[in-house]
Amino acid sequence: MTRGGDAMRQGRAAGRRRLSARRLLLWPLVGIVTLPLWALLLHAGTSFAHLPPGSGAATAVSVLSSICALLLTFLAGLPLAWWAASAPQRSQRLLELLLAVPLLLPPLVLGLVLAYVFGPTTGFGTWLTDMGIGVTNSFLGLTIAGFYEAAPFFIYAAWAAFGALDRDILEAAWLAGLSPLRAFWRVALPLAGPGLAIASAMAWARTIGAFGAPIVLAYHPTGLPVGIWIALSEFGLGPALQLALVLVAIALPLPLLAMGVARRAAR
């Protein structure tokens, strides 16, 4: 018994040493991956004095337009992802292809395409202008740009969340007398909640950080990403980093909340 106990203790000690060695190897990797955040925080705490002019307006524009883009993403993306989770394979492949196009387009190219579609040089853009709806260089244009940058990410993630549901549970809800719409609200949404929280966080991070499409379609009103670029051009790296810290502070809480929701659901 003594020899067996000694062997177990030695094995546990060796396991702890191996675990400690792995942690020592992992922490430098964590530092490398998170280097931009640490550098931003270090610079913010040592050399920042004042935010660039117009920072308050840019912050308000980014928050409001991103909220509108996220709501638009919900309205369009949630039913599409729910349908895709149970659609025939041929329809799923077609949808994957259609979503891959805006997903793979460089953001600047996406902005050029949106400016072509909604701008006054096309029939559709002219019709919108005649109706009194201006898209280019407008709050609406900024919202549309954020929507097109965020929607593919949200739909893919929400599609995966709905696809992972146990279909037997949904069928049991239907057999219990719930209509498809009620089953969706009462059963599918709560069960897919953690995955949808991650999808929402991805969409939020994408839309509030969108730069390529907004700078082409809606340079004005100026949001935070474009405002950072203007600050860098006019005032230098320091004020631009200060404004970038504001963007991180606004963008970060929702992803952290989503990760917390997903972690609780996994327990």
pLDDT tens-place string over residues 162-214? 998 887 787 787 777 777 788 888 888 888 988 999 999 999 999 999 999 99
Tokens read off for 109 = 């190219």
Q: pLDDT class for 157, splitting at 50, 70, 90?
A: very high
Q: pLDDT class for 140, splitting at 50, 70, 90?
A: very high
Residue owning tokens 């991180």: 248
Burial class (CB in 10 A: 0-12, 13-18, 19+), 64: middle
* DSSP letter, residue 134: -
Predicted TM-score (pTM) above 0.85: no
Model pLDDT, residue 101: 86
Assess contact for 183 and 49: CB atoms under 8 A. Answer: no
Residue owning tokens 């929400």: 158
Across 129-156, b (16+ Cβ under 10 Å) vs e yields eeeeeebbebbbbbbbbbbbbbbbbbbb
Domain ranges of the chain: 54-266
Q: How many CB atoms neighbour CB 256 within 10 A?
A: 10
Which has the minimum average pLDDT: 18-27, 51-60, 138-147, 194-203?
Answer: 18-27
- Cα torsion 36, 41, 43, 44: sign: positive
Which amino acid makes up residue 192?
A
pLDDT tens-place string over residues 35-74? 777 777 776 655 555 788 888 899 999 999 999 999 999 9
Architecture of domain 54-266: Orthogonal Bundle (1.10)
